[in-house]
Chain A
Amino acid sequence: MSNIAAVAIAGVMMVALTFYVLFAGADFGGGVWDFFARGERQKAQRDLISSAIAPIWEANHVWLILVIVLLFTCFPVVFSTIAISLHIPLTLMLIGIVLRGSAFIFRSYGGDTNETQLRWGRVFAIASIVTPVLLGMCVGAIATGIEQATYAGSFVDHFIRPWLTLFGFGIGLFALALFSFLAAVYLTVEAHGTELQEDFRTRALWAAGAVFVIAFGVLALSMTEAPMVRGALMEGPWALPFHIVTGIAAVTAIAALWTRHFRFARVAAAAQVTFILWGWAAAQYPYLLPPSLTIDGSAAPARTLVLVLWTLALGACVLFPSLYYLFRVFKLQGRG
């Protein structure tokens, strides 16, 4: 691979996607647990989720925009191919994003009556469940591979078949389970009081189980549906080390939850999800969009790439101190 700038930017996109999953993913997961709030503490559960998400979800959301901007600036062919073939799931996902964000803010400021709060809470929760599934389906479609085409053939071939697969749906469910798992683990740390903490500990353990089951289901499906990624995941040079570290992180997270070392569980869960994402990236490398678009082959001219790298470097100097400040004020100082 000659094009170091392109690989570097693809790496930055992957970092941004990882942050999106670790932070915004957990915000979606919060919505899932809002939906499943049960028992005598359901109001306390919802309030905890809401106060955990409120100050940070807007910032977390921007990681996705960064990924998209980098994609269309630096790998425009990949962006346009994805945008054409995945028009339908992306549009549905956008509707989910719009409804989730709006409903969350409408609930926070919708004010007076309990009834309207519940109604917007419902919209928020349902959109939080549907959106990650659609996001996962898009990722599944990318991993399976999309051919550039002339789009002369049938509607189903070009606009449905690339994404509406059992494997894609499996990845969608996997994303949902991962997001829910992250959220529950984070909430064990942020909860006031043992009872609430125990609620989310139980949920985190259930979600960890779901992640485990779905992961094997998806792997089985990938045999027939995403042979390239599956091949790399099973036989690639990095396959075994990745499986081992991911497995260690997963077991550590569950053990830490079991023994109630919640802060430790938070780190392990984040590590587990990070390894899963980078395992996918490594399996797909050097392809950005299989089966034909590589990072090198789809990259924008060098001048653009170098400028974008400078912009990213400068932007990072503003972004990371700001993010650190945000999380220090709301997450590290303890809850006020």
Chain B
Amino acid sequence: MPDLLAARSQMGVSLAFHIIFAVIGIGLPALMVIAELWWRRTGDAVYLELAKRWSRGAAILFAVGAVSGTVLSFELGLLWPEFMKQAGPIIGMPFSLEGFAFFTEAIFLGIYLYGWNRISARAHILSGVVVAVSGAISGVTVVIANAWMNTPRGFTLVDGKFTNIDPVAAMMTPAAFPQCLHMTIAAYAATGFAVAGIHAVMLLREPKNAFHRRALAIALLVGAPAALIQPLSGDISARYVAQQQPIKLAAMEGQFETERGAPLRIGGIPSETERKTKYALEVPHGLSFLATHELNAEIKGLNDFPVDEWPPVAIVHFSFQIMVAIGTFMALVALIALVFIWRKRDIVSTPWLLKAIALCAPMGFIAIEAGWMVTEIGRQPWVIYGILRTSDAVTPMPGLVVPFLTFTLLYVFLGVIVAVLLYHQVLRSPREVPSA
């Protein structure tokens, strides 16, 4: 395995692993606070049980997220020293902010988890709110740093070196808003539906279990609105990509020819050698409309760019299709679920809807992974879009396949254990909970 590929694979595995924990770290504290709030209001012990279980889940996931995030902060240099040497002073700001947000999150999670009997009810709930908010801020700041890699701003390039650095302008990069919006909503949608979906499975078995019913209700409260509005933020993201990274858009859509009124391709297999996307269902003018909101707008195709600046087209196209398909499905399920709640119809006595929600449990995370594959692989061959190639940023250290395999095995191992623990600590039906 070539070192560059090993380094990219290790970074990919590390990010893919960490992102699951980061996302749940944003979403789960929100669920936990809502459950505690409802317990304090109603005195219903089931909500207390939920708050305690979700906080245990948050503890497990936060711990693994924290250590895997630490690995990433080092890996930026261990794998891409040249990138960090050049970009560190420009994108260090959001990471510094993230440091403090992460500190706050860790401190108040400790207080929340172990402070049930030590601080007042109000202080306890507030601690939970601080965890939820600082988790979201952590996510946003890291995504800002990533956005800069897509649309680098805040410097003048002289002989390939960054001069006249302006870290604030770098943070205001055009990709920051759409990416942060899309990712934050995704975190709530994925976490909400993951929790809702798992309890939906339980409810298919024991429909009267009050624990699972209330868990489903709170999880949908967070997940369904997020999933419903996600396509709108997706639209904002798509238009920004069309404007700022046309080659990424072309790869996402398998668009080889530059054309006006470009069709939207559903499915299809892009071939880089034949320079066309075959077997796709084409919606006339669809892509032009979605990318620019004009039916006959010109969409730049891959053929307009030198081949050595193409990202791997097929992977980007497939990943994008997977993300969009899942996003659409989840938005639809969210809509139906919200209509049910609106009309006060019982979701639990509608098995097909429970099954659809159950199906969404893993889907949010698959969509997030696929979306990040679009962002990251779609930016290749660049680590800083248009400025620094990934191949020029990689460490001179040889034998990178060894750490790649080591971390992969380590993360697979940890992933399995976390899954088992979560089942026992969070999801399993409580032994003594009154039926509804």
> Which residues of A are at the interface with B, using a C-beta cutoff of 8 A?
54-56, 58-59, 61-62, 64-66, 68-70, 72-74, 76-77, 79-84, 87, 90-91, 94-95, 97-102, 104-106, 108-112, 151, 155, 158-159, 300-301, 303-304, 307-308, 311-312, 315, 318-319, 322-323, 325-326, 329-330, 333, 336
Contact = CB atoms under 8 A, between A and B. Distances in A.
A330 to B, nearest CB: 7
A58 B99 contact: no
Contact of A72 (B59, B92, B110, B165): B92
A112 to B, nearest CB: 8
6 contacts: A59-B106, A62-B99, A72-B92, A87-B78, A109-B60, A151-B397
Given A80-B81, A110-B421, A68 B398 contact: no
A68 B14 CA distance: 18
B397 A159 contact: yes
A300 B63 CA distance: 32
Given A159-B397, A319-B100, A326-B111, A76 B85 contact: yes
B92 A69 contact: yes
Contacts of A76: 84-89
Given A56-B110, A101-B63, 19 more contacts: A62-B99, A69-B92, A69-B95, A72-B77, A73-B89, A74-B88, A80-B82, A91-B78, A95-B410, A98-B68, A98-B70, A98-B71, A102-B64, A105-B60, A109-B56, A300-B165, A307-B168, A330-B110, A330-B114
Given A65-B73, A69-B96, A101 B111 contact: no
A311 B93 contact: yes
B64 A83 contact: no
Contacts of B104: 318-319, 322
A259 B64 CA distance: 41
Nearest to A83: B77
Q: How large is the interface on B (under 10, 10 to 19, 20 to 34, 35 or more residues)?
A: 35 or more
Interface of B: 56, 59-60, 62-64, 66-71, 73-74, 76-78, 81-82, 84-90, 92-93, 95-100, 102-104, 106-111, 113-115, 117-119, 165-168, 395-398, 403, 406-407, 410, 414, 417, 421, 424-425
B77 A80 contact: yes
A102 B414 contact: yes
Contact of B66 (A58, A66, A68, A111): A58
Contacts of B71: 94, 97-98
B395 A84 contact: yes
B99 to A, nearest CB: 5
A312 B96 contact: yes
A315 to B, nearest CB: 4
Given A72-B84, A326-B111, A101 B92 contact: no
A83 B63 contact: no
Contact of A83 (B70, B74, B86): B74
Nearest to A104: B63
Contacts of B70: 61, 64-65, 94, 97-98
Contacts of A66: 99, 103
Contact of A315 (B64, B69, B99): B99
A304 B167 contact: yes
Nearest to A326: B107
A178 to B, nearest CB: 21
Given A72-B77, A109-B425, A65 B410 contact: no
A303 B169 CA distance: 12
A62 B106 contact: yes
Given A76-B86, A111-B425, A97 B96 contact: no
Contact of A79 (B77, B90, B119, B425): B77
